[in-house]
Amino acid sequence: MGILTLAPIGLIVIFFAIYYTEYTFLSLAFLTPLSVNIEEYVDGFGLYLPTEPILFGLMILLLFQQVRKNQLDRDIWKNPIIWAVCFYLFWILVTSITSTQPIASFKFLLARLWFIVPLLFFGTRVFAKTKNVKSFIWLFCIGMSVAVLYTLTVHASYGFGEKEGHWVMWPFFKDHTIYGSTIAFSIPLIFGLYFSKKHTPIIKVVLLGLISVLLIGLFFSYTRAAWLSVFAALLVLAIIKLKIKFSILATIGAVVLASIYFSWDSIQMNLERNKMEHTTEEFGEKLQSATNVTTDASNLERLNRWSCAIAMFQDRPVFGFGPGTYAFEYARFQRPENLTIISTNFGDAGNAHSEYLGPLAEMGFLGMLAMLLIVAVIFYKSITLYNKWPDEDQEMKIILLAMILALVTYFVHGILNNYLDTDKAAVPIWAFCATFIALEMKLKKDIET
């Protein structure tokens, strides 16, 4: 009876997807922060509604259109972002064939395809119109603000307690970490919209309201990694604005790494003296707890997962255990001395907690290399595009900078957590990649004419 009730809604969605494909694509920006994972209601079956069915439908529709008539600009195949992503998908396919659990791996591959194909490849068509770039960001920020307002309302009824702050964002977000990560991602975008041009008083008030909601939401997310990722974005902003050369950054990086290496014993002793727990609600103490690797269960469990990922890589260094298999395989790689009060003997409590070590364990060295290559190419192409974009178009230039900083928050956060298998991260990230490709092609055509 429930399925029959949803049938008319499904038919309406199909109608809009076919006849208003562009608007359906843009609607994903608003719907993504508000999507709900039905895994919470149906055991063993995870699917984000309504975003993933829409993405799957768009993938089928757009592939069908592509077969009938080429819909893609040939220039997209010259872009390194596309090359890097194609290599990533190819290696997922290879390691799915060699996987210890092929069904889980091919499900992983299918999910990646319905995120990447409509968002990255066909998104280049949508974002060829620069107005759609701004529309997408507006819709995403509004959707996120709605989710944050809901969360703050629920959280307020519990006195903004730190313990309750881990789950009050349900059903829109699984926990406070992905919630905080998505807020951090949104903050550079909303500031970008505010500073991109002169707004009418009403729009200015709306934007200031959204900024306030997101900043309050970030604070009460009690997510240390999200706070630190925003600081990282501010650091990158300073580097870009000051136009610091890569050679200088590389030198500073080498000096810092050398200092850490030669001072490691002293650093380790200081880390062991840090007993600050993440359960504290004071902002400064919360940040201090990020380096507590002695008593903080959250930090220790993350180290446990990383240790398992490295051990899995050492066991199968070339092909890994297969995409999407970490959660099923890591239990036997847990060492007794690494177990924490939140560890499980069955290893059924999640993933590798790293966007980089996860692929290392599941797809071997080339898997991690493919992920790092995507990140490097995204930032290289986006920052190059920002520097080349005409100063006369300050609005789009500022929007581009905001998108780069948003991606910084995610990929810094990705050191500690991984969410690219969820729509919350995948939709905006692959859409932004499509934006960079589309805008680069537009800039090239403008120069040629």
Give the residue among 327, 316, 335 at the shortest CA–CA distance from 358.
327
Q: What are the tokens at 318?
A: 């070339």
pLDDT for 289: 53
- Residues linked to residue 48 through DSSP beta bridges, in sequence order: 37
pLDDT for 226: 94
pLDDT in tens, 384-416: 999 999 999 999 999 999 999 999 999 999 999
Q: What are the tokens at 389?
A: 């974009």
pLDDT in tens, 279-300: 555 555 555 555 555 557 778 8
- Rounded Cα–Cα distance for residues 437 and 429 (Å): 13
pLDDT for 65: 86
pTM for the whole structure: 0.91
CB 354 within 8 A of CB 417: yes
Neighbours of 137 (CB within 10 A): 25
* C-alpha distances in Å from residue 328, one per residue of 223, 315, 345, 351: 27, 15, 12, 9
pLDDT for 1: 42
Instruction: Indicate the helix (H) or strand (E) that contains 49.
Output: strand 48-49
- With a pLDDT cut of 90, the percent of the chain lying above it is 69
Domain ranges of the chain: 2-245+353-448
pLDDT in tens, 45-76: 678 999 999 999 999 988 888 888 887 888 89
pLDDT for 68: 86
pLDDT for 258: 82
In this structure, the strands spanning 36-37 and 48-49 are antiparallel
Q: Which residues of the chain have pLDDT under 50?
A: 1-3
Instruction: Indicate the helix (H) or strand (E) that contains 37.
Output: strand 36-37
189: which residues sit within 8 A by CB, 6+ positions away? 137, 140, 141, 402, 403, 406
* C-alpha distances in Å from residue 435, one per residue of 32, 299, 410, 426, 443: 18, 36, 17, 14, 12
pLDDT for 71: 79
pLDDT for 2: 46
